Amino acid sequence: MAGMSERTEEVLWAGTPSAAVDFWLNLGCLLVIPIPWALVRWVQRRNHRIEITTERLRLTRGVFSKRTDELELYRVRDITFLQPFLLRMFGRGTLVLTTGDATTPELTLEGIPADQELRDGFRKAVETCRDRKRARVAELGGSVDADDHQAGA
């Protein structure tokens, strides 16, 4: 439409989980476990792509066959950032998202940067998407779209 302003989707962060996630596995491979197992995990981690944009969260996984899952940010209900000691040493952490999505009620992103600016940008993008979609989060339920709620009344 000519009169509407175009929204451009910006990438807030894109990358792969940190190798620090598999620190104990890699250490065990050096000491006890066969090295091919560590190599398989490394290949899997390198083919696990996380992309956080201002509109959605995109996860692509798979070595030979790829699977891409997308989560619209307005569906995010709660954000928790965990930083176990080992990941903290590497400047990484785990982002746990509680969502209103039926197929992905909880999503865990391991080994992402422990950057306060990234987390603030993500939270702001979630709020902006909720405002734009006129969605709200009910305390006792999931995400409810304002238009759907009014239509049912």
Angle at 87 between CA 58 and CA 33, to 5 degrees: 95
Q: What is the number of helices (H) and of strands (E) in the chain?
A: 5, 9
Evaluate whether residue 142 is within a structural domain: yes
Say how many domains are in the chain: 1
Evaluate whether residue 2 is within a structural domain: no
Strands 76-82 and 67-72: unpaired
- By residue range, what is the domain housing residue 39? 11-152
Evaluate whether residue 5 is within a structural domain: no
Evaluate whether residue 1 is within a structural domain: no
What CATH number should be reported for the domain holding residue 86? 2.30.29.30
Question: In 3D, which of 65, 64, 68, 72 has the Cα closest to residue 125?
Answer: 72
What's the pTM value of the predicted model, to 2 decimals? 0.71
Evaluate whether residue 3 is within a structural domain: no
pLDDT per residue as tens, the chain (153 positions): 444 455 688 898 888 888 788 787 777 777 766 778 778 888 988 999 999 999 999 999 999 999 999 999 999 999 999 999 989 999 999 999 999 988 889 999 998 998 899 899 999 999 999 998 887 766 655 544 544 444 444
Evaluate whether residue 80 is within a structural domain: yes
Evaluate whether residue 105 is within a structural domain: yes
Evaluate whether residue 121 is within a structural domain: yes
